[in-house]
Each structure stands twice: as C-alpha cells, then as structure tokens.
Structure 1
Amino acid sequence: MPPTVPTIDFRDFWHIAPAVVLAAWGLVVLIADLVLARRMSVDARRRSIGLLSLVGVGLALLAAIGLLAIGVRPADFSKLLGPSLEAYFSQPSSTIFLGTLAANFPTDVFNVLFVILLGLVVWVSTSYTFTDNWGEYFALLIWATVGMMLLAASEELVTLFLALETMTICLYLLTAMEKSRRRSTEAGLKYFVYGSVSSALFLYGLSLVYGLTGTTQFDGIRQVLVASGPTDVGLAGNLAGATALLLMLVGFGFKVAAVPFHQWAPDVYEGAPAPVTAWIATGSKIASFVALLKVFLHAVQPWSHPSNELLGPGWLAVVAVISAVTMTYGNFAALAQKNFKRMLAYSSIAHAGYMLVGVAAVSVSTSGPASAGSVLYYLVVYAFANIGAFAVAAWLVRDRNGDQIDDLNGLGRQAPVLALCLVVLMLSLIGIPPFAGFFGKLYIFMEALNQGSSGYRLTLMGLVALGLFNSVISAFYYVRVLKAMYLREPSGQRLGPPRSSIAFPVLISAVVVTVFGLTPTPLVDLMKAAAVPMLTAAQPASETAPPPEMAPAPVAAPVPVAAPAAAAAAPSPRPGLSG
C-alpha cells in the first residue's frame, strides 16, 4: 500500500489565532495608511495609525487570553466551542501543523506576554515623530511580533529558522527607519550584515544536526541522541556534532547579544529609534532565549555534560565560558558609556550573561524542567524594566533631540513621578531588593548553587561569585543615571511634560517590577508551570523517530552512516532533564 500522506487539521489555526490576527492587522494598517491617511499631516498620521495598531493589539490580546483560558479549562467553554472544538481543545498538550509548532500552556502564556509588550512599544512609538512611513513602521512592528510568537512556539528546526528570520528581517528594516539620522541607517546596515552572516552559520549548524539525527523535530533529535549512547561519549570524536553545536551557539549568541557575538548591539541600540531598540532588547531577546532553551535544554541536552564533568565532551563548558565573559565584558564596557541607550546596550549584554548562568545550571539540574522557570522569570522582569527605560529615552529624543545620560540632569525636579519610576527600574536592573530584578538573579544563582555534583559544582559557584561581583560593578553605571536626575542642575532645553504615551509605559513597567518583587511567587510558579511542557513536549515515538532509510549514524561518529536496526526502533522512554 502507498504511504499515507499526513494532512493538516484546520482546527490547528485556532491555536495560532493571535499570530493570525496580527499578521492580518499588519495588512490593515498598511492599507489604511496608503488609502485613508496619506492626506493627513505626519503627526496626525502617526497618531491615527498608532491608534489603529493598538486596536489590532487589543484584538490579538483578547484572542491570546481567550486561548489561554480555554486551554486551562476547556469544559467551561463547551457551549461556545461546540462538541468538536471542545474535544479538540481537551486533548493533552501536543503539537500542531504536523509537529512544527507547540500548542500548549507555555505558548499561550508567551503569546499574552508578547502582545502586552507590543502594546507598550506601539504606545511609546506615538510619542514623537521619527519617520514619515508610519504604515510601514507599525506593520513591521506587528509582523516582527508574529515571528516572535512562532519562534517561541517552534518545535522543529526549519520552523524555528523561518520564524527567526521573519523576526530579524523586520527588525533590520525597523532599525533603519529613522532616515533623517545617519546613525540609524548605519545601525540598520551593521545589523543586517552581522545578522546575515550569523544566520548562514546558524543554518549550517542546523543542517548538520539534521544530517546526524535524520530528523528536525526537537523531541526526535533528543530521542536519537539518547538512543545512540554510550552516554559518556557525547561529542568525543564527533567533529560534525561539535561543529553543529558551535555554529548554533553563534546563531543564538548573535540573537541574545552574547560575547563574542555582540558587536552589533551597541551601535544598533544607539542608532535605532528608541521604541525599536526597546523591542529588540525585550521581545526579540525573550523569543530567542525561549528558542535557545528548547534547543539546548531539550533537543541536544544529552550533549550537555555526557561524562558528568564540566570539561567533558559537551557544550556545558562552552556556555559557562561565554556566560562569564559576557557578563563581565558587558558591565565593564557599560562603565565608560555616556550615551543612555548605548549604556543600556552593554547592560543588555551583561544580562544575557546572567541568563546563560541559568542555562548552564538548568542543564545539570536534578529538579527537572521546572528549574528553567528561573530563567523565564528573569526574562519577564528584565523585559518590563527595559521597556520603561527606553520610553524615557524616547522622551529625551523628543524634547532634547539627544539620548545622553547628561540629558537626564535635573529630571527629579522637573518630573518627580517619572524620575521615581526610573529609579525603580534602575534598581531592579541592578538587582536591589525588593524589586523583581533582585529575585530574578537570586533564583538563577540559587539554581546554580543547588547543584551538588563535584564535577561542575565549583564552576557553577564560580559563575555565581562572578555574577555577584558584576552586579556590584553594574551599580556604578546605573547610579550615574540617578545622580544625573537628582544631584545635577537641569542643562540644555527643558523637557516638556511627558505625554501619556511615555508616562504610562514607564509607570506600568515600574509597577510590574515592584509588584513581582514584593510578591514574586505567582510569577515564578507561572514560569515553572510553563517551563515543564516547554521542555518536555513530545509526540508519539512513531512520529518523531526517523524512518529506516534515513536512520542516523551513532552520534560519536563524525560522518553519518547507516545505523543498525536498533537505532531506528522506537527509543526507550525519555529520561529526565538531567540526562
């Protein structure tokens, strides 16, 4: 009999309803700008198209919250869904579109988060005029968010790469959107050149993983690596596997701005319009880190520390070194910065280093996938702190046509409430209690200290000590912002009153980092609940195991060859995250 061709269940589109709404709304924004708003002034177009974009964000938020509620308790919506959809949504967590995307609790949570952050960025974007092409600008913001949603939901390598490129291509264009400023165009060009090279290397690494395992599914890759033992061999003698991991680290390192793949970040953060910089620093980083967690802590986790030693044939030691260098370089480089956005760029690099400490700790954790909740918590609170900080940067550009730290001089007297909010955000980024940034670092560092194996305990303790030292260093450049606001006289043109498009995002960000600092447990529990299905999502073995004609070689071999029949058989149940 001829093989059965798998078909797509069109009910799967319900699970990506927020992304579908945003993708369609981007077209609505473009058409409205071209047809209805061309005769308006630039400022009127900015406000009207921005308001229209916020309507689309609201619709997407309703869809995302609705999916989250239905996914948690589908029986409560039986009358609304009908028997067919109720049965469909009552299925256990699984994948959709032939295993390419996840349809589970963490996907719904991240969709809500992305849409909320997008709403804040769109709101900040209406605060001042930096382009004439408002339809294209807001459409690209919306489509970049679609890429982020699909990237966070990806369950196989090809979908991950396509979503990643959808996101980054939109960001390339957004970075160069401020055509009146030379450094914006320069930043867009640098971002594009660095991004193109890293994407090419990343794609080559993904192709090597497929060649070694015969599948692009994350769960299928993990099962093949586990079944290909012995577990203490790992990458020893496997040049192709080691090359694949290094190339994937190049790709992810570029996206999260980890050293030595960070060169683009300072120029892009400084040159891009402030709202675009905010979206690169928050939404892009969240989506990229979620994808990194899925690939390294799920798909290729068996290659993390196969010999139970830090310097064994795995990727744990490489990530530990990158983490140490990233947080140290980022903090020391930030000390010399006088530009507010450039300082935040190096701060972002340093925070990527802290998060990589969490990745290293979770890869050896004995408490299972839930331990990744500490990294996700850090990502959320870091994102809100940065949204507020870049909203202040947008205010500086609007009123003083500059974004230097000295432009903040006297802000504490001119706008005491906004200055107090910025103090809260800076203290959270330092990691001062009782703000959420403190608990973000605390949970990551405690996760590292709780690993008791003698093979890597000392190294993780060293990373924690280095992280604490770097947190002290970071206080020096964050406090410069506070000093400028409260201890210096106003200089230059006086800042105008903050519009709601600036004041409310800053206020909301300050409230979020304060509330989740005073009561961190609900968000921590939510992120832990999201981390478990995110890192253990699996299909039946019959769907993920590679077919016999494409069965991979034992992963210890540098060149794939025909594997024995046992390798093509369904593997034994997957072990815990600790491998």
Structure 2
Amino acid sequence: MNVYLLDYRDFWCVAPALALAFWGFVVVAADLARFHRLDAAARRLALGRLTLTGVGIALGFASILLGIDSLAQSDSPRLEWIFGPSLGTYFARTDGLIFVGTLARGLPTDVLNVLFLVLLGMVVWMSTAYAFTDDLGEYFALLLWATVGMMLLAASEELATLFIALETMTICLYLMAGFEKTRRRSPEAGLKYFVYGSVSSALFLYGLSFVYGLTGTTYFDAVGRVLMSGPSPAGLAGNLVGGAALLLMLVGFGFKIAAVPFHSWAPDVYEGAPAPVAAWIATGSKIASFVALLKVFLHALGGWSHPSKEVMGPGWLGVVIVMAAATMTYGNFAALAQKNFKRMLAYSSIAHAGYLLVGVAAASVSAEGPSAAGAVLYYLVVYAFANVGAFAVAAWLARDRGDDTIGDLDGLSRRSPILALCIVVLMLSLIGVPPFGGFFGKLYIFMEALRQGPSGSRIVLTWLVALGLFNSVVSAFYYVRVLKAIYLREPKGKPLQPAEAALAWPIALSAVVVTALGVAPGPLVDVMKSIAQPMLTAARLETPAAAAADVRPRPVAWAPPSRTE
C-alpha cells in the first residue's frame, strides 16, 4: 500500500485562506474582549476596519503568490536564488497540485483568490454603512469563513474536498442570511435557504458517491481518464447509475448557481437577506460555484458530455442546454413583474446564470474548451462587480427607507447626479449595452457558442444564442425601469439621505470597473483564457516521493461483476 506524505510547503500556497480563517477568530475575540463596550455605530465601524485589515493581509499573501507563480512561468531559476534551494525549487514547480492532489495551486488559483478578496473588501466596507444586526463579530467572522470556503471550492481537484469546501461556504451563508432579526423576512430567508440547500447538498453527495462507485476514484483527472477510456462508445446509453449521478450532481450545482428549476430559493433569500449578504451570495458564491462546475463537468465528466456525438443524446450537454434556455427565459420574464429592487436583482441573477450556462455548453463541444471557459470567467468578473454595486444601492435604500423598492429611487438624479450616473452604468452593463463590460461578456460567450463544435451542435447552439439575444432585449425593459425612476420621475416623500462613503465608493468603483472592462476588455479576456487552460487540463502530482515512484492515486475502472452459470 502506498503512503502519501504531505509536504509542509503546501501550506504556503493556501496562506490567504489560512489568514482569513485565523482572522475570523481574531474578529470574534476582539468583539467580545474590547469592542462590545462601544456604541453600535462605533462598534460596527471598528469591527469593519479590523475585518478589512484581515482582508488586506490575505490580499497581500495572494498578491505575493501571484507574483511568485508569474515568475515561475518566466524565470524559475530566480526563485531558487530568492527563496533558497528547497522553497525555490518548490515554487518553481508548475504541475499545479498540492495536498496529495486535492487542491490546485498556480496562476488560476492566485487570480481567483485576488478576485474573491477584492470583492470581499467591498462587501465588508458596505456592511459598515448601516445597522442590520447586533451580532457584528459573528457576522464579520462568517463573512471571512464563507470566503475561505469559496477559495477552497475554486481550488478543489477532488470530489470529497469539493463537497467539504462547498458546505463550508454555504453553511456560513445560511447563517448570515438570517442575521437581520428585526425583520421577519430575514430569518425566513435563512430558513428557506437552509432547507433547500440541505436537500440539494444531500442529493449532490449521493451523486458524488455514484461517480466514485463507477470510477473507483474521486480525483477529477482520474475520473476523466476512466470515463474517456470506457469501453462503451454510447456512454450513458443504458447506464442508469451514470445517468443518475449526472442528474444528482446537476441538482446540486443547479441550486448553487440558481438555475431553473432549482431557483425557487433565490428571490426570497435575496429579498430577505441583508443587502451585503445578498451581494456576497450573488457574486462570491456564484463565482466559486461556476468555477467548480466548469472543473467537474468539463474536466472530470467531460467524457459524459455527449458521448454518442449527438448534442441532445445521452449525456449532460443536452440537459445543460435545456437548463440554460429555461433559466435565462424564466429569470428575465419573472423580473418584469418585480417592484422590489433586490427581488428584481434575484431574478436577474437567475437570468445571468442562464447566459453563463450557454458558455458551459459551448466549452463542452469546443475544440478549444479553455477559450470558451475563459469567456465564462470574464463574464463572471464583470457580473460580480456590477452586482456588488447594485446591492450597494439596495443597502442605501434599506438604510434610509427601511425598504428597497424601485420607487424609492424616484428623482435620484436631482439629489445625487454622480451616483445616479454610476447606477445607470451598472444597469446598462447588466443589460449588455456597449461600451460596458456586460456587453463584451455576452458577446464572447455567444461568439464561442456560434463558432465552436461540429455542424450538428452548431445548429442547436445557434438557436440557444438567438434565445439569449431575445432575452437580452427582454431584460432591458426591467433595467430601464430603474433608469426611468432615477431620471424621469419626481421624488416622493422623504428624500434619500446622501450616501456615505461606505456605500458611495463601492457603487462608483463598480461603475468604473465595468466601464474599464468594456473600453479595454482584451487584457482580462487573455488572462481568463490563460488561467482556464491549466484549470481544465490534467495535472500530475509531483511530490518528492511521487516524482520518484510515480505514485499518484490511480483510478480503478469499473466493470459489472461477472456472472457464473
């Protein structure tokens, strides 16, 4: 029996996650020991600043790792000179696996960690703007620990590790969704989120067990090699266990990304949860979940995409195409009837999940899968910044009005013209209007869907793109209602108070980012395509022992038991 030894140097590669995990305890301890004596506003501000300090420390670690891995790609001998023979040789490795192959390291992980931390900093900053809970130490700690789960989820290369990271993230989000105890809909949102999430997690785990039973391994690379070398060219034809595994895993991921028909939790949770929590559910958890979905379905389960070479044949491609069509259509049409701003954003989030699933489908039939996957990652970045800014607007409404209806924005352009312009930019980006980042996000995904794959899949994906374009037009109607309220309606009742810096700056920064990504999308698109390549290709474990003996855990091909007469 082979024994796999941990390399202590692997802990350097998860330093950002370790820093956040430790800092969560620091925040709780500081709140109990010192800050609980302060008044509510001073306590909230002090804990927010302390949390931002931890985020800054983790961002520093992530930036250092990003620089090291970038240097490893171009000038690895210099690393040995900087860090010494042992650590320098370790950092010069580009195989991309740590902790016995359970987690990935390298540029993809570094870039995603930096993205998570920047967005987390904006959410923490936003959380200091208004009082929605007295349990501030626990709230900020849960924010940090949820981010740890997101980082590990995006870095997972093995199914058991993926499930543990997924539950770490979602359990923290369940708790935070119910933190606004003074409003009945917040505990209700937390309870609904927990019930739906628990059921989906159980089904997802059941699907993972089927995959392990069929392949004898839980490593993405090993699962993919077993499925690609299977003896049956028809793939899932007649394979009830394989089909059940795919459907159960799609249920789990469908819940996390709020795809139809697993979306019913999203409107109530987005409306009931505090605005910063809803922002983190809509952005951070969606980025981590889509990255995990790409790795599992394109890397591990790529052999089950369309094994019969028919798009709508046995395999997960046809199911994803149907889910994409239903998700973007339902999300957009349901959003038309919404008057609550956060509820409208919830249905908008469902619709955007449908657009992203188009990219997943395109990547599965593409001869250049990383190119289409890179388009999905670019879209996720643009969508995340636009939504953080939009939920900062919702936090502004909740702070001053105690509500978050679209009508509360009436006449905003007369009182805050600059912030009104920023909100217009965010809404236009979410619609997909040039020259903002949302336009290029949809453009790249739809182009990948149109130009990739054999002629049979191209016909199906062309119709899917046509439906996506139609839905983009539909989305303009409910986003324009926000612009109409800001510019064409007279203010009613008590006007909104000026937005303090903790709300104004996230709105303005998000508007600047989506504008910059629209004016110059090329650099970020290139980065996302470059990190998608190693993310979706097989990597081999190269610890010192494994390098000598080649002892990476090997898959065991499944075969039905022999029958004796």
Write out per-residue CA displacement over residues 454-508 of structure 1, whole angstroms, 9 at most, x where no aligned residue. 2221110010000000000000000000000000111122111111101111111
- Deviation of 1:6 after TM superposition, in Å, equals 1.2
**3-state SS in 1 of match to 2:454:** coil
**3-state SS in 1 of match to 2:4:** coil
Write out per-residue CA displacement over residues 206-250 of structure 1, whole angstroms, 9 at most, x where no aligned residue. 0000000000000000001111134x3110010000000000000
Structure-2 residue corresponding to 1:167 = 169
Structure-2 residue corresponding to 1:371 = 372
Structure-1 residue corresponding to 2:332 = 331
Structure-2 residue corresponding to 1:310 = 311
What is the distance in 2 between the residues matched to 1:77 and 1:124?
A: 39
- Deviation of 1:173 after TM superposition, in Å, equals 0.3
Amino acid at match of 1:552: A
Correspondence for 1:552 among 527, 548, 557: 557
- Change beyond 3 A, Cα 1:178–1:481: same
Structure-2 residue corresponding to 1:350 = 351
Structure-2 residue corresponding to 1:486 = 487
Preserved contact between residue 79 and residue 92 of structure 2 (Cα < 8 Å): no
- Change beyond 3 A, Cα 1:40–1:456: same
What is the distance in 1 between the residues matched to 2:221 and 2:307?
A: 18
Structure-2 residue corresponding to 1:177 = 179
Structure-1 residue corresponding to 2:98 = 96
Task: Kindly indicate whether residue 153 of structure 2 is the aligned counterpart of residue 148 of structure 1.
Answer: no
Structure-2 residue corresponding to 1:196 = 198
Preserved contact between residue 55 and residue 120 of structure 2 (Cα < 8 Å): yes
Structure-2 residue corresponding to 1:567 = none
Q: Aligned runs of 1:125-136 on 2, under 5 Å?
A: 125-136=127-138
Structure-2 residue corresponding to 1:38 = 36
Structure-1 residue corresponding to 2:467 = 466
- Deviation of 1:543 after TM superposition, in Å, equals 1.4
What is the distance in 2 between the residues matched to 1:4 and 1:220?
A: 17
**3-state SS in 1 of match to 2:308:** coil
Structure-2 residue corresponding to 1:557 = none
Amino acid at match of 2:308: S
- Deviation of 1:94 after TM superposition, in Å, equals 2.3
Structure-2 residue corresponding to 1:573 = none
Amino acid at match of 1:365: S
Q: Aligned runs of 1:217-366 on 2, under 5 Å?
A: 217-230=219-232, 232-366=233-367
What is the distance in 2 between the residues matched to 1:79 and 1:31?
A: 40
What is the distance in 2 between the residues matched to 1:180 and 1:515?
A: 39
Task: Kindly indicate whether residue 8 of structure 2 is the aligned counterpart of residue 10 of structure 1.
Answer: yes
What is the distance in 1 between the residues matched to 2:554 and 2:81?
A: 39
**3-state SS in 1 of match to 2:35:** coil
What is the distance in 2 between the residues matched to 1:311 and 1:179?
A: 47
- Deviation of 1:80 after TM superposition, in Å, equals 4.4
Structure-2 residue corresponding to 1:407 = 408
What is the distance in 1 between the residues matched to 2:396 and 2:67?
A: 37
- Change beyond 3 A, Cα 1:341–1:408: same
Task: Kindly indicate whether residue 211 of structure 2 is the aligned counterpart of residue 209 of structure 1.
Answer: yes
What is the distance in 2 between the residues matched to 1:452 and 1:82?
A: 47
Structure-2 residue corresponding to 1:81 = 83
Preserved contact between residue 80 and residue 89 of structure 2 (Cα < 8 Å): no
- Deviation of 1:561 after TM superposition, in Å, equals 3.6
- Deviation of 1:98 after TM superposition, in Å, equals 0.9
Task: Kindly indicate whether residue 18 of structure 2 is the aligned counterpart of residue 20 of structure 1.
Answer: yes
What is the distance in 2 between the residues matched to 1:153 and 1:476?
A: 38
What is the distance in 2 between the residues matched to 1:296 and 1:543?
A: 22
Preserved contact between residue 399 and residue 493 of structure 1 (Cα < 8 Å): no
Preserved contact between residue 360 and residue 372 of structure 2 (Cα < 8 Å): no
Structure-2 residue corresponding to 1:438 = 439
Structure-2 residue corresponding to 1:519 = 520
Write out per-residue CA displacement over residues 288-312 of structure 1, whole angstroms, 9 at most, x where no aligned residue. 0000000001100011011211122
Amino acid at match of 2:199: V
What is the distance in 1 between the residues matched to 2:360 and 2:107?
A: 21
Task: Kindly indicate whether residue 552 of structure 2 is the aligned counterpart of residue 543 of structure 1.
Answer: yes
Structure 2: gaps of 5 or more residues: 542-549
Structure-2 residue corresponding to 1:426 = 427
What is the distance in 2 between the residues matched to 1:493 and 1:530?
A: 49
Preserved contact between residue 105 and residue 530 of structure 1 (Cα < 8 Å): yes
Structure-2 residue corresponding to 1:571 = none
What is the distance in 1 between the residues matched to 2:427 and 2:20?
A: 32
- Deviation of 1:142 after TM superposition, in Å, equals 0.3
Identity %: 69
Structure-1 residue corresponding to 2:544 = none
Preserved contact between residue 333 and residue 346 of structure 1 (Cα < 8 Å): yes
Write out per-residue CA displacement over residues 394-424 of structure 1, whole angstroms, 9 at most, x where no aligned residue. 0011111110000011111111111100000
- Change beyond 3 A, Cα 1:13–1:561: farther
**3-state SS in 1 of match to 2:104:** strand
Structure-1 residue corresponding to 2:123 = 121
What is the distance in 2 between the residues matched to 1:361 and 1:208?
A: 26
Write out per-residue CA displacement over residues 530-579 of structure 1, whole angstroms, 9 at most, x where no aligned residue. 10000014226851422xxxx3324xxxxx5479xxxxxxxxxxxxxxxx
Task: Kindly indicate whether residue 455 of structure 2 is the aligned counterpart of residue 454 of structure 1.
Answer: yes
Amino acid at match of 2:119: L
Write out per-residue CA displacement over residues 57-114 of structure 1, whole angstroms, 9 at most, x where no aligned residue. 1001000010000011144555542221111000123211111100121011100000
Preserved contact between residue 95 and residue 540 of structure 2 (Cα < 8 Å): no
What is the distance in 2 between the residues matched to 1:374 and 1:116?
A: 20
What is the distance in 1 between the residues matched to 2:529 and 2:312?
A: 29
What is the distance in 1 between the residues matched to 2:147 and 2:24?
A: 10
What is the distance in 2 between the residues matched to 1:363 and 1:310?
A: 10
Amino acid at match of 1:220: A
Q: Aligned runs of 1:560-571 on 2, under 5 Å?
A: 560-561=560-561
Amino acid at match of 1:487: L
Preserved contact between residue 389 and residue 511 of structure 2 (Cα < 8 Å): yes
- Change beyond 3 A, Cα 1:562–1:493: farther
What is the distance in 2 between the residues matched to 1:172 and 1:412?
A: 36
- Change beyond 3 A, Cα 1:109–1:537: farther
- Change beyond 3 A, Cα 1:59–1:408: same
What is the distance in 1 between the residues matched to 2:552 and 2:144?
A: 34
What is the distance in 2 between the residues matched to 1:517 and 1:510?
A: 11
- Deviation of 1:452 after TM superposition, in Å, equals 4.7
Structure-2 residue corresponding to 1:387 = 388
TM-score (structure 1 length as normaliser): 0.94
Preserved contact between residue 553 and residue 561 of structure 1 (Cα < 8 Å): no
What is the distance in 2 between the residues matched to 1:286 and 1:31?
A: 30
Structure-2 residue corresponding to 1:105 = 107
Write out per-residue CA displacement over residues 254-288 of structure 1, whole angstroms, 9 at most, x where no aligned residue. 00000000000000000000000000000000000
What is the distance in 2 between the residues matched to 1:561 and 1:266?
A: 47
Preserved contact between residue 256 and residue 289 of structure 2 (Cα < 8 Å): yes
Amino acid at match of 1:161: F
Amino acid at match of 1:545: R
What is the distance in 1 between the residues matched to 2:52 and 2:136?
A: 13
What is the distance in 1 between the residues matched to 2:308 and 2:226?
A: 18
| Corresponding pairs, count | 551
Amino acid at match of 2:307: P
Preserved contact between residue 552 and residue 561 of structure 1 (Cα < 8 Å): no
Amino acid at match of 2:64: G
What is the distance in 1 between the residues matched to 2:315 and 2:522?
A: 34
